[in-house]
Structures are given as structure tokens and as C-alpha cells.
Amino acid sequence: MQVQTNQSLSVDCAVFGFDGETLKVLLIERPAYNALDRLKLPGSMILENETLPEAAYRVLEEATGLRQRDLYLRQMEIFSDPKRVEGDELAWIRQRHNIHTERVVTVGYYALLKLNGRLIDYTRSKGAQWVEVDRIQRLAMDHKAILTAGLGYLCREMQQSPVAFELLPRKFTIRALQRLFEAVLGIEIDNRNFRKKMLSSGFLQPTGEKEQGVAHKPAEYYTFDRNAYRKALKAKLRMGFIDNWRY
Amino acid sequence: MQVQTNQSLSVDCAVFGFDGETLKVLLIERPAYNALDRLKLPGSMILENETLPEAAYRVLEEATGLRQRDLYLRQMEIFSDPKRVEGDELAWIRQRHNIHTERVVTVGYYALLKLNGRLIDYTRSKGAQWVEVDRIQRLAMDHKAILTAGLGYLCREMQQSPVAFELLPRKFTIRALQRLFEAVLGIEIDNRNFRKKMLSSGFLQPTGEKEQGVAHKPAEYYTFDRNAYRKALKAKLRMGFIDNWRY
């Protein structure tokens, strides 16, 4: 075993969106090459003058047109198995970038954004597509494993902080919020308990507006009150450190 | 800007220990080279057949003799500034490893261990030393920034989970626990409140043994009851997700 210099570093992003019913992830179709899987996560080698987060934001802007301020992006784990890219996949990378790399280590990121018609049109124009997470069987290289890790992070984070609202439009119904939790956590949640819990949290602000043109009884729209949340959090942290231990 | 292949990946570890009074970090002295700083964090390039965590555990075992099961090791951030290693520092790396790398990206890890006489002897025999964190002015390359990041992680984690006990001997006094919190958080804590809070948590188990040969009134030794902690945590998580949001 020895030190190697002909290795490369890349970023790969699991970008999640929610359409009101199902959780979706952004996939890129790459040109056919041998019998390799066509669909992959958006990603890139890092360029010589950029840091890893800069590379990740660049990849996301290329795929979605969104800037840093409009995205929730977090680094997750690093995929450094020496055999994660080999054989035809390594040949594809060498050919695509015209480099003689022997090994590619990739840093996984996950991103959350607000899915809407304009965004879907944009990504489609870039050759990308939004695919329901539950329907994905295989992806290029180890991208299925990266997606699974991203889902794990999202699942944990949604139970620890209000990231759910990064995936919802500014105004949303409690039903949409519940559907999002159900889609991500893979569980069924009792309607009445969920509604009661969310309304009693003090973090949801009624807008007075209701759904229009729906077959069922129109539901009210709410917004997330980030200031109320921050205040409550501050008060909780003041209670003292041992009460906040959680893992 | 273009894709590069002559780049290298390394790991650098901020290894913390607590001697009952102050927080210390493990530093390695490297051979003199030009006017470069001599002291650095333990670290290594990744070898061709190992993953990043494997490289980090190898570095720690080389420096401390401790195996994975005796260490608390966590990955923290990645340091990918294209200019983090250049000039004489890059020349030192090229000479030391006999490689022609243009860029070194490093993954920062932080580790916690139980400092004792045997361990201090071992690290000394390996040319490493335990230095009080507050006295460190400069380190090689960007290792001061990596150390600072490690301290930040430790600081946050100690307020969120019982990692403090990774730094204490199995049996400890409440005073030692308090001194550890004070050293890491950089604050003074009220003795009586701290004692009351810790004892009422239900996580500390009295051993019935007391300090011996001390000038002051001998204090009782306690152990951390990990099972009681896990049970309490489980009950807390059952209370429902929104109550657990914290950032």
C-alpha cells in the first residue's frame, strides 16, 4: 500500500423535492456508454480553484438555476471505498474528463428545495428529471448508496429540526406537511394527533387563506413562523446542557 | 479552471485528552524543514487500499497504540481551500512522500480518549506530546484552524450528548466532570447548581469509593450509567418529533 497522487475528488448531490404527495430526487441522464446505468445524481469533479462546497453549489446551479441563498445544502458523508469506481465506470470518467485518475473519492451532499412548475421546466431543459424516490431501483456507480445515505440524513434531520419547511411552499396546508413527514419517514401518521401537535407548537401561523377549487373541504394555508421557533429554541437551550443531551 | 488528477487526500486528527484540570491535544514534532512550524496534528495521506476512516484509525493507532474500540473518533469538516498547502509546505509534502501532488485536501477528524500515565508514556515514545489547548499559538499548515474546528465540534457535542465521559476515567468525581465542562466551554460553572443538576439527572451512579490522600475533604467517585441514559433518551424521543427539534 502506498501514497497515490493520480486520484480525484468529486461531489455528488442528492437533491430532494416534494410535490405535495411524494418525495422526489433529481437525476441526470448521461450519454450511453457500454452497458452502464444511464441515470446518476448531479455531480462533478472539483475544479482546481474551487473548494468542495463551491463545487457542490456550482453543480446545483447548473442543474436547477438556483443560487446558494435559495438552496438548503449540507455535506453528508464521504464515499472513499477504494473500489467504489472501477472497470467501465472508471473508464467512463477517464474518457469524459480526459484524465488518468486511478481512484475517485466523492463527497456526498444533500439538498432540499421548493419544487414548482418553473423549476421542473428548468431542470427538464437541462436534461434532468425528478423521479419518485421509492421507484428508483438502480443508479450509476454507487449513487444508489449515496441517495440512501441522503435519505437517512433527511429522515434524521426532519425529526431534529424544522427542515421540512425547506421542501414546502411558503404557504402550505397541514395535510401537505403531514404527507411530507409520511413520505420521508415511511410511516402513517394519525391526522388528528398530528394536527393538534403542529397547531399547539406555536410555530405555525394561519394565513386566513384557504385552498381553492378542491373537491374536499378547503383546508387553511399556514406559514412557518421561524422567529417563534428560534425563540422557543433559545429558551430550551437556556434550561441547561444536560437536559439537551439526545444521543 | 480545470479538473486535476495530481491531487492528494489526507486525514488530520485533533485528539483530545483531559488531565483532570486542563484540556490537551496530541501534537507530533516533525523534522526541521526550512522555517516551517515544527508541531502538527497527527495525520497521513490515505493509502491506495484504505478508506478515509481506516486512514484515521491507522494514524491514531500509530500515535497512541489504541485500537478502534478504545477511541471515540468522528469525522468533522473537510478542508478543501485550494491554497491550504502551498510553497514550502507543499515542497515538504512532496519531499516527504516523494510525490508530485499539486493540492492536498484533508478531512478533519476529532478523537476523544482517556488520558493516563501509560498512554502519556506511549505517545512520548512515539515522539508525540500532549499540549494544553489554550497555550497553542501556531501549528504547521492550517492545523491551527483544524484544531479550532475540532474544539468547536467538541464544545457543541458536549452540550448535546454525554461525550464528556469519553474523556474521563471510568470513576470520576463530580468536580472533575465540572472542570472538564469548564475547560471545554471556557466558562465558570456554579458548583452547587452543577452538582445538583448532575445528581438529579439519574445518569450518575455512586460507587461508594472516595478520593484518597487529598488535602481537601475527599470527594466520592461516580460512574456514568449509560443504560439509564439510553432509557431516558428513548422515552424522550417517544414524546414525538416536534418536541425534539433543536436547531
Under 8 Å CB pairs connecting chains A and B tally to 141
Query: Which residue, among B187, B200, B242, B244, would best test binding to A if mutated, counting the most A CBs under 10 Å from its CB?
Result: B242
Nearest CA in chain B to A197: B242
**Is the pLDDT reported for residue A153 higher than 70?**
yes
**Contact assessment for residue A16 and residue A154, using Cβ atoms and an 8 Å cutoff:** yes
Average pLDDT over residues A209-234: 91
Tell me the pLDDT of chain B averaged across its residues.
Answer: 91
Tell me if A1 and B247 make a contact (CB, 8 A cut-off).
Answer: no
Phi, psi angles (nearest 5°) of residue B224: -90, 125
Closest CA to A72 of A134, A186, A165, A204: A165
Tell me if A2 and B47 make a contact (CB, 8 A cut-off).
Answer: yes
Residue B207 C-alpha cell reads as 460507587
Residues in B closer than 8 angstroms to A103, CB to CB, are: 48
Q: What is the pLDDT of residue A35?
A: 86
Tell me if B7 and A7 make a contact (CB, 8 A cut-off).
Answer: yes
Tell me if A47 and B246 make a contact (CB, 8 A cut-off).
Answer: no
Q: What is the pLDDT of residue A239?
A: 57
Tell me if B81 and A47 make a contact (CB, 8 A cut-off).
Answer: no
Q: What is the pLDDT of residue B69?
A: 86
User: CA-to-CA distance for B48 and A104, rounded, in angstroms?
Assistant: 11
Residues in A closer than 8 angstroms to B51, CB to CB, are: 80-82
Closest CA to A41 of A63, A58, A74, A73: A63
Instruction: Give the pLDDT confidence of A99-110 residue by residue, as tens digits.
Output: 889 999 999 999
Residues in A closer than 8 angstroms to B241, CB to CB, are: 158-159, 181
Q: What is the mean pLDDT of each run of 10 residues along chain B (247 residues)?
A: 82 97 95 89 95 96 92 94 94 90 95 95 94 95 97 90 94 95 90 90 93 91 93 72 57
Distance, C-alpha A240 to centroid of its chain: 33
Q: What is the pLDDT of residue B86?
A: 92
**Is the pLDDT reported for residue A22 higher than 90?**
yes
Q: 10 Å Cβ neighbour count for B209?
A: 11
Q: 10 Å Cβ neighbour count for A60?
A: 24
Tell me if A4 and B1 make a contact (CB, 8 A cut-off).
Answer: no
Tell me if B5 and A9 make a contact (CB, 8 A cut-off).
Answer: no
- HSE (side-chain half, CA atoms, 13 Å) at A168: 24
Q: Which of B5, B9, B48 minimises the CB distance to A2?
A: B48
Specify the residue for cell string 421542501: A167
Query: Whole-model pTM?
Result: 0.88
Burial category of B135 from C-beta neighbours within 10 Å (exposed 0-12, middle 13-18, buried 19 and up)? exposed
> Which residues, 6 or more positions from A19, have their beta carbon under 8 angstroms from its beta carbon?
A115, A130
Q: What is the pLDDT of residue A20?
A: 92
Tell me if B244 and A160 make a contact (CB, 8 A cut-off).
Answer: yes
Please list the helix, strand and coil fractions of chain B in percent, rounded to the nearest 5, in that order.
40, 25, 35
Calculate how close chain B gets to A76, using CA atoms only, in Å.
Answer: 10
Q: What is the pLDDT of residue B247?
A: 43
Distance, C-alpha A182 to centroid of its chain: 16
Residue A134 C-alpha cell reads as 421509492
pLDDT band (50, 70, 90) for residue A247: very low
- The three-state DSSP-derived secondary structure of A43-94 is EEECECCCCHHHHHHHHHHHHHCCCHHHCEEEEEEEECCCCCCCHHHHHHHH
Q: What is the pLDDT of residue B111?
A: 97
Burial category of A168 from C-beta neighbours within 10 Å (exposed 0-12, middle 13-18, buried 19 and up)? buried
Tell me the pLDDT of chain A averaged across its residues.
Answer: 91
Specify the residue for cell string 450511453: A32
